[in-house]
């Protein structure tokens, strides 16, 4: 006669599978419609809000899966090891938390990784802020420009344009310039964009409170791997930048094509610097997608995050 097993936690653990997949993520499940949560993660510099959201979605499914596993373990104790049913129920009731914890520890589901894998790259903006606030429309600026002490000048510097050549470009087209426009010859041939595209961006600006804005797309996997804490990004050659106002929902052509990869350090010195923004509409800001009626491909290639 076989010796009857003694009902202990070690015995129950011996009946368990080495691992359990508590939740299956459908290939159609993703985070494409969770940009508010992703924006919150960026603001907090933490993945915690995303973990909370995913837990909110899947915790009930996990709980149900664990309940089914416990039910099968009970059946195995009674049907295959001839243990008393009432004793099994009593034991599992007394040790429910410990048994659940053990099953959860064997969970090989990776819900967040799967959701991220199914999520499309996200359109983003990198905006330049300045001690000089912003640049207004070409009409509001009166068709005249000053290099020193202006957002316009900071924009020329950010794009690595030679101020003297910018002045010649404007005056050749009949526009006025004021103050000193130094001849920075070291920038010649190293400009981020062409002078003609810069000129077209200026004269087609039709909105107030514009910022120099680089556009691209970012991988959610890269954001997650950084813990949503970004220091530097690289906008790839071929992407575009331009003038855009998320406050008023307007801008210009966003048609200055980058002639080289552009590395931008995020953060501020005083009020000057670059900020990284998801291009999704909020209560306080317009998006490029909404204003221009464009699809994701308009934003160009994927922005690289520098760790």
Burial class (CB in 10 A: 0-12, 13-18, 19+), 123: buried
Q: According to the per-residue pLDDT averaged within each range, which of 4-13, 14-23, 131-140 is highest?
A: 14-23
Cα separation, 79 vs 83, whole angstroms: 8
Residue 1: predicted pLDDT: 39
Residue 5: predicted pLDDT: 76
List, for residues 187-212, the tens digit of each pLDDT value.
999 999 999 999 999 999 999 899 99
User: Which of the four pLDDT bands, split at 50, 70 and 90, describes residue 124?
Assistant: very high
Q: Which residues contact 277 (CB under 8 A, 6 or more apart)?
A: 124, 125, 126, 127, 246, 285
- The model carries a pTM of 0.90
Cα separation, 84 vs 199, whole angstroms: 86
């Amino acid at each position: 006669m076989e010796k009857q097993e003694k009902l202990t936690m070690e015995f129950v653990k011996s009946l368990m599978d080495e691992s359990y997949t508590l939740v299956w993520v459908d290939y159609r499940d993703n985070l494409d419609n969770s940009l508010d949560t992703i924006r919150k993660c960026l603001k907090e510099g933490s993945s915690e809000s995303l973990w909370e959201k995913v837990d909110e979605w899947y915790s009930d499914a996990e709980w149900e899966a664990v309940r089914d596993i416990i039910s099968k373990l009970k059946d195995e104790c009674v049907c295959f090891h001839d243990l008393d049913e009432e004793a099994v129920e009593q034991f599992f009731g007394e040790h429910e938390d410990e048994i659940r914890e053990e099953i959860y520890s064997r969970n090989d589901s990776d819900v967040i990784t799967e959701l991220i894998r199914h999520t499309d790259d996200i359109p983003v903006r990198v905006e330049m802020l300045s001690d000089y606030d912003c640049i207004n429309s070409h009409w509001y600026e009166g068709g005249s420009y000053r290099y020193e002490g202006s957002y316009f000048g900071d924009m020329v510097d950010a794009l690595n344009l030679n101020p003297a050549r910018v002045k010649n470009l404007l005056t050749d087209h009949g526009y006025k310039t004021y103050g000193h426009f130094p001849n920075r010859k070291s920038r010649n041939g190293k400009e981020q964009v062409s002078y003609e595209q810069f000129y077209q961006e200026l004269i087609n600006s039709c909105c107030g409170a514009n910022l120099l804005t680089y556009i691209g797309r970012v991988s959610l996997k890269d954001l997650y791997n950084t813990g949503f804490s970004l220091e530097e990004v690289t906008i790839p050659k071929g992407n575009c930048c331009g003038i855009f106002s998320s406050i008023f929902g307007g801008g210009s052509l966003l048609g200055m094509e980058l002639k080289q990869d552009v590395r931008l350090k995020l953060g501020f010195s005083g009020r000057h610097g670059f900020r990284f923004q998801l291009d999704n509409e909020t209560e306080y800001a317009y998006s490029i997608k909404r204003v221009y009626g464009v699809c994701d491909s308009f934003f160009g290639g994927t922005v690289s995050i520098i760790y």
